[in-house]
A and B are shown apart, each in its own frame.
Chain A
Amino acid sequence: MSFQPVLLWSDALLFVLIAAIVALALWARHEDNLRAAWGRVLRDRVAMAAATVLAMFVVIGLLDSLHYREKLESLPGEPVRYAVEVNSVLDALLSGLRQRGEKTYSAPLATHLFAKESVGDASQRDFPRLKHGGAHLGGQLDAHGADIARRALLGAAGGLALWFLCALGLRRLKAVPGGIDADGADAAAPPLATAAIAWTLLPILVAGGAIVALAGGYHVLGTDKVGQDVLYLSLKSIRTGLLIGTLTTLVMLPLAVLLGILAGYVGGWVDDLIQYLYTTLSSIPGVLLIAAAVLMMQVIIDTHPQWFATSAERADARLLALCLILGMTSWTGVARLLRGETLKLRELEYVQAAQAFGVGRFAIMGRHILPNLMHIVLIALVMDFSGLVLAEAVLSYVGVGVDPTTISFGTMINTARMELAREPMVWWSLLAAFGFMFALVLAANLFADAVRDAFDPRLAK
């Protein structure tokens, strides 16, 4: 093998999460009430448009989670060695963007560096040409604008062609009888909002095609201080955002569900203890508790360098620890909600019937109470996601976010912020980070709203 797969802890957890979602989806197909609720989500046009955008982000994030180490050239007979650097499949796909670094800042689609430098003898100062951006133009700089337009048009045309294929595929999917479960009560409406998906794909694919075509010869979103391509950085940030948004909730859910149900169902001193626990934790201002815990974690990681083989592993451990800390500080809200709901459910007839039949406490909690709380859990999961993605940027600014070597929206904003005072301003890396974050969070918010509307029994018509 010319490479060695590397499974970081966060990758493993992410794949476990994906497997759990697939398993739950398969199970939900056989549960009438779940199928009806998800059917409402699938028919919701806004939700499906948002899901399309989210799916794009998830695909990029997953590609970025398949890590490997490349094999180094070695003489025959020597033991096989692998590179220290851990790369992902996304890195391999974007190797062009990753390797064609410039010296420092350059504006989007530029052919010259952003700062003047001494050219030839020291008296002459000019903007030097970029090593890669627009290098294929050679000396014909007049053709710059025309070349950009030509590439963008060609790329957009390619994207359009791809879109036609996708749209045709979506039509066929719709035509397959039983291909998608229709909710019997609402048979008139299409079971899946395919039109919304198709119209969302159109701008994504056309713009994506143009960007791919341009990225071959230019830095589409410019380069940052050390000359890294901003488009590459933005795409790499997606995984960090997704991980923080999902793993945090995954970490906190078991704790919140267990303690919430225990407090509500068992009552007595267990209830008092659990209530005391979450009141104490939630009385500490969130940012400060996170800051305190992250500072401590940093000291532990710094004093135990022997735990981590590569710097990627160390950064990954820090990312996971951040998720853990965010989870430990945010389970209190969900636990409180679940406790309240359990208190209500405990008094319902079917639970009392189960008690009368002599069903054990834990069986009642697991079989009769937990399934009826799942909608709260699901709503909490999707509603928290966008807040966590936004929180990452703020925490990284405060200095208690991800490892500075981890590419994330927060670290991008943090480094770009220093350059705001420059004249003229370096705006592209800030805008790229904010733009990608906005798209991700907006899609997540819209999707979360649809899920909440579909699952919240209070909103059921």
Chain B
Amino acid sequence: MLAYIVRRLLYAIPILIGVNLLTFALFFVVNTPDDMARMQLGVKRVTPEAIEKWKAERGYDKPLLWNAGAQGIAVVTDTILFTKSARMFVGDFGRADDGRDIAREIRERMGPSLAIAVPTFILGLFAAISFALLLVFFRATTLDFAGVVLCVAMMSISGLFYIIGGQWLVSKVWHLVPISGYASGLDAGKFLILPVIIGVIGGIGSSVRWYRTIFLDEITRDYVRTARAKGLPERVVLFRHVLRNALIPILTGVVVVIPTLFMGSLLMESFFGIPGLGSYTIDAINAQDFAVVRSMVFIGSVLYIVGLLLTDISYTVADPRVRLQ
């Protein structure tokens, strides 16, 4: 098991190098730092001196890959590839365009992101599995049919509608919670409850349908017929047998997103003014702050790879037959 984990972690290195090179190519080769400077400075203030100054302030004035003017090892290290891209591997993300340290910003914003993402994830998973089991319990009845129709209708509604409609109804008409904002500590509750509920409702349509299909796949198996034949009530069949055997496909979809919860939700955070990583990313995109976007891309892929590894490990927990070698 340990050997497997180590090997998987080693396998992650070429992938991360690939991600790193891809972002490097996107941000520095497709677009030269000159283009970036021109856009950031605006049309009016563009002079060659201003561009050079902008680049020098942010360390973009170095050669891309090979610094022929430097001595010794600095030929490689005193380049944009090394200072801007390769140093992300050791957690050095550099500074945003407004001069703040990105790594510090990320540490500070992780808390609010988790405060909204974790409850949404847990409640959403719980609600989706419960409703799916309910529909499977009443399978091939009018209730099941109505539930599926409702699911399809709910997944056809834009996520923006849930957010805008929820904010309007709950905050503006009923005045139950503030429209947006954030506070630290226990006060955060009143700001978080609405985005969490909206997040759960917005995702429930597609996930209930997905879990229902998984459960229905299981329910035709022989072991289910055996369980019924020996006289187990349907409730026990569903919870003790079907749910446990359906865990593998469920885990495949679920565990991989757990690490990415750190990244926060782009839409929720920006609509509800929560100072997490999601709104940080959106602000960076709108301000065209490439240093931040690049860092978030890198962190996102690290978390995704961790998620894949966790998925594999969770299989061994859920199903003793799975051995990782």
Collect the chain B residues with CB atoms within 8 Å of residue A413's CB.
Answer: 158, 160, 164
Binds B, one of A117-125, A253-261, A435-443: A435-443
Question: B38 contacts A303, CB within 8 Å?
Answer: yes
Give the interface residue-count category, chain A.
Answer: 35 or more
Question: A295 contacts B157, CB within 8 Å?
Answer: no
Question: B160 contacts A284, CB within 8 Å?
Answer: no
Question: A285 contacts B164, CB within 8 Å?
Answer: no
Question: B260 contacts A285, CB within 8 Å?
Answer: yes
- Among A288, A299, A386, A446, the residue within 8 A (CB) of B300 is A288
Chain B nearest CB from A47 CB (Å) reads 13
- Among B39, B156, B263, the residue within 8 A (CB) of A285 is B263
Question: What 1/0 mask marks residues of chain B from 237 to 275 whose CB sits below 8 Å from any chain A CB?
Answer: 000000000000000000000001001001100000000
The residues in B between 213 and 248 inclusive whose CB is less than 8 angstroms from any CB of A are: none
In this complex, the member of A289, A302, A417, A446 whose beta carbon has the largest number of chain B beta carbons within 10 angstroms is A289
- Among B153, B172, B296, the residue within 8 A (CB) of A288 is B296
Question: A299 contacts B39, CB within 8 Å?
Answer: yes
Chain A nearest CB from B22 CB (Å) reads 7
Q: Is B47 an interface residue (CB 8 A)?
A: no
Q: Is B56 an interface residue (CB 8 A)?
A: no
Residue of A nearest to B290 (CB): A295
- Distance of A424 Cα from B23 Cα, bound (Å): 46
Question: A283 contacts B19, CB within 8 Å?
Answer: yes
- Among A288, A303, A438, the residue within 8 A (CB) of B157 is A438
Question: A430 contacts B164, CB within 8 Å?
Answer: yes
- Distance of A95 Cα from B159 Cα, bound (Å): 33
Q: Is A287 an interface residue (CB 8 A)?
A: yes
Interface residues of B: mostly helix, strand, loop or mixed?
A: helix
Collect the chain B residues with CB atoms within 8 Å of residue A445's CB.
Answer: 152, 155-156
Q: Is A86 an interface residue (CB 8 A)?
A: no
Residue of A nearest to B17 (CB): A280
- Distance of A449 Cα from B153 Cα, bound (Å): 13
Q: Is A372 an interface residue (CB 8 A)?
A: no
Q: Is A82 an interface residue (CB 8 A)?
A: no
In the complex, the number of residue pairs spanning A and B with C-beta atoms less than 8 Å apart equals: 114
Question: B267 contacts A276, CB within 8 Å?
Answer: no
The residues in A between 401 and 440 inclusive whose CB is less than 8 angstroms from any CB of B are: 409, 413, 417, 420, 425, 430, 434, 437-438
Residue of B nearest to A416 (CB): B164
Q: Is B168 an interface residue (CB 8 A)?
A: yes
Question: What 1/0 mask marks residues of chain A from 149 to 168 whose CB sits below 8 Å from any chain B CB?
Answer: 00000000000000000000
Collect the chain B residues with CB atoms within 8 Å of residue A284's CB.
Answer: 19, 22, 297, 300-301, 304
Q: Is B113 an interface residue (CB 8 A)?
A: no
- Distance of A280 Cα from B288 Cα, bound (Å): 24
Collect the chain B residues with CB atoms within 8 Å of residue A399's CB.
Answer: 282, 285-286
Binds B, one of A221-229, A355-363, A389-397: A389-397
User: Given that A285-B263, A285-B304, A291-B285 are known contacts, is A296 also in contact with B168, CB under 8 Å in the complex?
Assistant: no
Collect the chain B residues with CB atoms within 8 Å of residue A288's CB.
Answer: 281, 293, 296-297, 300
- Distance of A139 Cα from B314 Cα, bound (Å): 74
Q: How many chain-B residues does the 8 Å CB contact rule pick out? A: 45
Question: B15 contacts A279, CB within 8 Å?
Answer: yes
Collect the chain B residues with CB atoms within 8 Å of residue A409's CB.
Answer: 158
Chain B nearest CB from A293 CB (Å) reads 6
User: Given that A398-B266, A438-B156 are known contacts, is A276 also in contact with B38, CB under 8 Å in the complex?
Assistant: no
Collect the chain B residues with CB atoms within 8 Å of residue A420's CB.
Answer: 164, 167-168, 172
Question: A285 contacts B31, CB within 8 Å?
Answer: no
- Distance of A282 Cα from B18 Cα, bound (Å): 11
Question: B293 contacts A291, CB within 8 Å?
Answer: yes
- Distance of A296 Cα from B294 Cα, bound (Å): 12
Chain A nearest CB from B214 CB (Å) reads 13
User: Given that A430-B164, A437-B158 are known contacts, is A296 also in contact with B27, CB under 8 Å in the complex?
Assistant: yes
Question: What 1/0 mask marks residues of chain B from 295 to 323 whose CB sits below 8 Å from any chain A CB?
Answer: 01100110011000000000000000000
Residue of A nearest to B300 (CB): A285
Question: A292 contacts B267, CB within 8 Å?
Answer: no
Q: Is B26 an interface residue (CB 8 A)?
A: yes
Residue of B nearest to A410 (CB): B160
Question: What 1/0 mask marks residues of chain A from 233 to 263 whose CB sits below 8 Å from any chain B CB?
Answer: 0000000000000000000000000000000
Q: Is A300 an interface residue (CB 8 A)?
A: yes
- Distance of A400 Cα from B300 Cα, bound (Å): 18
The residues in B between 24 and 77 inclusive whose CB is less than 8 angstroms from any CB of A are: 26-27, 30-31, 35-36, 38-39
- Distance of A74 Cα from B233 Cα, bound (Å): 86
- Among B26, B155, B301, the residue within 8 A (CB) of A293 is B26
- Distance of A303 Cα from B14 Cα, bound (Å): 34
Question: B157 contacts A289, CB within 8 Å?
Answer: no
- Distance of A393 Cα from B293 Cα, bound (Å): 21
Q: Is B161 an interface residue (CB 8 A)?
A: yes
Collect the chain B residues with CB atoms within 8 Å of residue A299's CB.
Answer: 31, 35-36, 39
Chain A nearest CB from B165 CB (Å) reads 8
Residue of B nearest to A449 (CB): B152
Residue of B nearest to A279 (CB): B15
Collect the chain A residues with CB atoms within 8 Å of residue B263's CB.
Answer: 285
- Among B23, B31, B153, B156, the residue within 8 A (CB) of A300 is B31
Question: What 1/0 mask marks residues of chain B from 150 to 178 whose CB sits below 8 Å from any chain A CB?
Answer: 00110111111100100110001000000
- Among A276, A282, A295, the residue within 8 A (CB) of B288 is A295
- Distance of A288 Cα from B293 Cα, bound (Å): 7
Residue of B nearest to A441 (CB): B156
Residue of A nearest to B303 (CB): A285
The residues in B between 188 and 230 inclusive whose CB is less than 8 angstroms from any CB of A are: none
- Distance of A400 Cα from B297 Cα, bound (Å): 15
- Among A280, A296, A434, the residue within 8 A (CB) of B161 is A434
Collect the chain B residues with CB atoms within 8 Å of residue A291's CB.
Answer: 281, 285, 293
User: Given that A292-B297, A393-B160 are known contacts, is A442 also in contact with B285, CB under 8 Å in the complex?
Assistant: no
- Among A295, A394, A442, the residue within 8 A (CB) of B156 is A442
> Top 6 nearest A-B pairs by Cβ distance?
A280-B18, A285-B300, A442-B156, A283-B301, A441-B156, A283-B304
Provide 14 A-B residue pairs closer than 8 Å at the C-beta atoms, listed in order of the A residue. A283-B15, A283-B304, A284-B297, A299-B35, A299-B36, A390-B159, A394-B158, A394-B159, A398-B285, A425-B172, A434-B161, A438-B161, A441-B157, A441-B158
Residues of A within 8 A of B (CB): 276, 279-285, 287-289, 291-293, 295-296, 299-300, 302-303, 386, 390, 393-394, 397-400, 409, 413, 417, 420, 425, 430, 434, 437-438, 441-442, 445-446, 449
Residues of B within 8 A of A (CB): 14-15, 18-19, 22-23, 26-27, 30-31, 35-36, 38-39, 152-153, 155-161, 164, 167-168, 172, 260, 263, 266-267, 281-282, 285-286, 288, 290, 293-294, 296-297, 300-301, 304-305
